[in-house]
Amino acid sequence: LAKTTQPISMDSYEGQEVNITCSHNNIATNDYITWYQQFPSQGPRFIIQGYKTKVTNEVASLFIPADRKSSTLSLPRVSLSDTAVYYCLVVPYNNNDMRFGAGTRLTVKP
Amino acid sequence: EAQVTQNPRYLITVTGKKLTVTCSQNMNHEYMSWYRQDPGLGLRQIYYSMNVEVTDKGDVPEGYKVSRKEKRNFPLILESPSPNQTSLYFCASSPQRSGSPLHFGNGTRLTVT
């Protein structure tokens, strides 16, 4: 199972773009990358996932370079309500083992 | 409504008194998992199950038991709780299908005194 490494915390200000990078050096060929968001005392919520290149949805973008050894979650124009912990997961193709790390605590300031 | 339901939401108990935290999902998901969350440690997987009668250890299984007799239910059992099991617990489920995200319950906050 590929281990992931993320910054422990990040600070930003309202209206800025935030990029959170995750390292996963030993990702396997068929693994894909998933990001979750968690607010205090709530279960994590799925944000976005991808296998390679770029994926965009209404909430975020995910950039994955060709070697797939890292990925970057991009949150455009953050607001105070984006203050949360963000987790990067490398998930096996058959979805059978999903393990979270410590995540990145993002604090958005006014 | 599609959901993962955990009960109870809050539980205070004493050391050694057996307890069960229930988890039920109504989405016919094959995969279910239990996590505990402690300050600064993120979510750590306790046990997971890929289908009925198939369970496996996660990263921190000591002191816990699980069972998967039916597809919808995945109870977490603490036979002899100890204070170091005081934590916030989450149950999650997903289809056994590549690309399917986890659906989480609302959590159970357990305090063992």
B78 touches chain A (CB under 8 A): no
| CB contact A32 to B (< 8 Å) | yes
Mutate to test the interface with A, among B102, B104, B108 (most CBs of A within 10 A): B102
Query: Helix, strand or coil for residue A67?
Result: coil
* Amino acid A38: pLDDT: 95
| Interface A:B, Cβ pairs < 8 A | 68
Tell me how far the alpha carbon of residue B36 is from its chain's centroid.
8
Residues of chain A with pLDDT below 50 are none
Task: Inform me whether the C-beta atom of residue A29 falls under 8 Å from chain B C-beta atoms.
Answer: no
Q: What is the pLDDT of residue B40?
A: 80
Q: What share of chain A is helix, strand, coil (3-state, %, to 5)?
A: 5, 50, 50
pLDDT of residue A95: 64
pLDDT 10s digits, B54-77: 999 999 999 999 999 999 999 999
Q: How far apart are CA B23 and CA B20, in angstroms?
A: 10
Tell me, yes or no, if B35 comes closer than 8 A to chain A by beta carbon: yes
Residues of chain B falling short of pLDDT 50: none
Instruction: Kindly state whether B58 is in contact with chain A, defined as any CB-CB distance less than 8 angstroms.
Output: yes
Which amino acid belongs to residue A81? S
- The answer to whether the Cβ–Cβ distance between A102 and B104 falls below 8 Å is no
